[in-house]
Amino acid sequence: MTKAASAAAKDLAAAGVTGVQVSWADNNGIPRSRIVPIAGLADAANRGIGVTSLFAVFDTHDAITYGHTGLATPSGDVRLIPVIERLRRLAGQPALAWAPGRQVAADGTPWPYCQRTVLQAQVDQAAKQGFELKAGYELEFAIAPLGSTDIASSPGHPGPAYSPHALVELDGFIAALLHDFAANGLRIGQLHAEYGLAQIELSLAATDPVSAADDQLLARQTIHAAAHAHGLRVSFAPIVSPEAAGNGWHLHTSIWRRGRNLLAGAGEPGPEGAAYLAGLLRDLPALTAVTAPSVPSTLRLRPGYFASAYAFWGVENREAPLRYVPGSALLGADHANVELKPSDASANPYLALAAVLAAGLAGIEEGLVPPEPIADDPGTWSEGDRTTRGVARLPATPGEQDAALLASPRVAGVLGEELLGAFRAVRSSDANWAEERSVDEIVSAHLWRY
């Protein structure tokens, strides 16, 4: 690895790169990073970069909670190792390169709080069982002029939703996005003006889970840099205004074995694909505690906003938290996938994918059968109708999310005892912070965190 890092550093230095940003995501989904001079890349790849172990218990507001006994003092150091295979020069920040980081203990052994390692272990376990997951993100974000303090008073585009006219004034930014994503090795399926306030959406191509999580972090960096270069700033926050539709980072997954997509079928998933979907549905309350874990996440998950407030699945139902997308004669059978809609930027992407994989594989192992799909919006039903159909509200408070997480041995188990403790301590710290604050204050405080 040192030899590969040395060779990469030499090539990057010759191209004018002076430093490498090594990035990871904390338990709030917030990217954190260290920059090393290009001459220090090989040493960093070999011995790592020293960082405090307390990043595992930073809350969303950069307060450190000592509520988890495993990290209850300011003492401790871990090493951040750049993943050289994912090293990229940043097109929008040409003096810098970028690499995701993995965290190890000071002696180089695995560290239980490293979220990337947790996902890799889950992927390896699935591979031993003959399964492969493919994953891709849809990223929604709101845009505003640089220096804006909120989106509502200074939206970055006027709409209409889905209209080409909305983006005319953003031509330079859109051109930079297309260029920089390609240069950074990120494939975009499409982008457009979305439904929400000053909102844009783009989709990333599906890949293996670890690469998908890496790509999500790199995509954020790419978008932020392109926006700044064009006098703009972006908000990835789950909700940017109490009255507006929020930003979802919808997670599309498919499960494969021996080159065959198990979700493919004649308009509905095959038996094992259906069991995968049933596993997600069974653990959906616990999953959302990981994939949409912040206080603003609970504000976003409300009926009528295509945000998925109730636990059910449907075929191409955009109100469903689990939207089954079938293949077709035009797209091919292997296009089939499941979209998880209660997912946003406050989720650590590695933990989100690890939890999804664990829940789905448990469904296959146990041969679960999902209920009939729902084509309607249960938010328009009476409470009695929802009860009759077995459709329950997803957790709507931090306390309900915590209870759901603890109630699922599959989702809690994939995190492991140490990381679960740190994750819960962070969520508790965030909930305590929000307790005495208004919705407007909560939205404002999270607007630019991600």
pTM of the model: 0.97
Q: Is residue 218 over pLDDT 70?
A: yes
Please state the domain count of the chain: 2
Q: Answer yes or no: do 132 and 270 share one domain.
A: yes
Domain boundary among 83, 110, 137: 110
- For residue range 263-281, list pLDDT tens digits in order: 998 888 999 999 999 999 9
Q: Answer yes or no: do 360 and 250 share one domain.
A: yes
Q: Is residue 86 domain-resident? A: yes
Report, as an integer, the average pLDDT of 147-163: 94
Q: Answer yes or no: do 238 and 371 share one domain.
A: yes
% of the chain residues with pLDDT over 70:
100
Report, as an integer, the average pLDDT of 416-427: 98
* 95 Cβ neighbours under 8 A, 6+ residues apart: 16, 17, 18, 19
Q: Answer yes or no: do 106 and 196 share one domain.
A: no
pLDDT for residue 292: 98
Range of the structural domain that residue 50 is part of: 2-110
Q: Answer yes or no: do 204 and 309 share one domain.
A: yes
Q: Is residue 117 domain-resident? A: no
Q: Answer yes or no: do 419 and 394 share one domain.
A: yes
CATH number at 184 reads: 3.30.590.10
- For residue range 170-186, list pLDDT tens digits in order: 999 999 999 999 999 99
CA pair distance 159, 156, nearest whole angstrom: 9
Q: Answer yes or no: do 72 and 158 share one domain.
A: no
Report, as an integer, the average pLDDT of 412-432: 98
Mean pLDDT (the chain, rounded): 96
- For residue range 76-123, list pLDDT tens digits in order: 999 999 999 999 999 999 999 999 999 999 999 999 999 999 999 999
Report, as an integer, the average pLDDT of 227-242: 97
Q: Answer yes or no: do 85 and 169 share one domain.
A: no
Q: What is the 3-state secondary structure (H, E, C) of the chain?
A: CHHHHHHHHHHHHHCCCCEEEEEEECCCCCEEEEEEEHHHHHHHHHHCEEEEHHHHHECCCCCECCCCHHHCCCCCEEEEEECHHHCEECCCCCCEEEEEEEEEECCCCECCCCHHHHHHHHHHHHHHCCCEEEEEEEEEEEEEECCCCCCCCCCCCCCCCCCHHHHHHHHHHHHHHHHHHHHCCCCEEEEEECCCCCEEEEEECCECHHHHHHHHHHHHHHHHHHHHHCCEEEECCCCCCCCCCCCCCCEEEEEEECCEECCCCCCCCCHHHHHHHHHHHHCHHHHHHHHCCCHHHHHHCCCCCCCCCECCEEECCCCCCEEEECCECCCEHHHCEEEECCCCCCCCHHHHHHHHHHHHHHHHHHCCCCCCCCCCCHHHCCHHHHHHCCCCECCCCHHHHHHHHHHCHHHHHHHCHHHHHHHHHHHHHHHHHHCCCCHHHHHHHHCCCC
- For residue range 294-341, list pLDDT tens digits in order: 999 999 998 877 788 999 999 999 999 999 999 988 888 889 999 999
CATH number at 12 reads: 3.10.20.70
Residue 1 banded pLDDT, cuts 50, 70, 90: low
Task: Judge contact between 356 and 414, C-beta under 8 A.
Answer: no
Q: Answer yes or no: do 147 and 104 share one domain.
A: no
Q: Answer yes or no: do 104 and 143 share one domain.
A: no
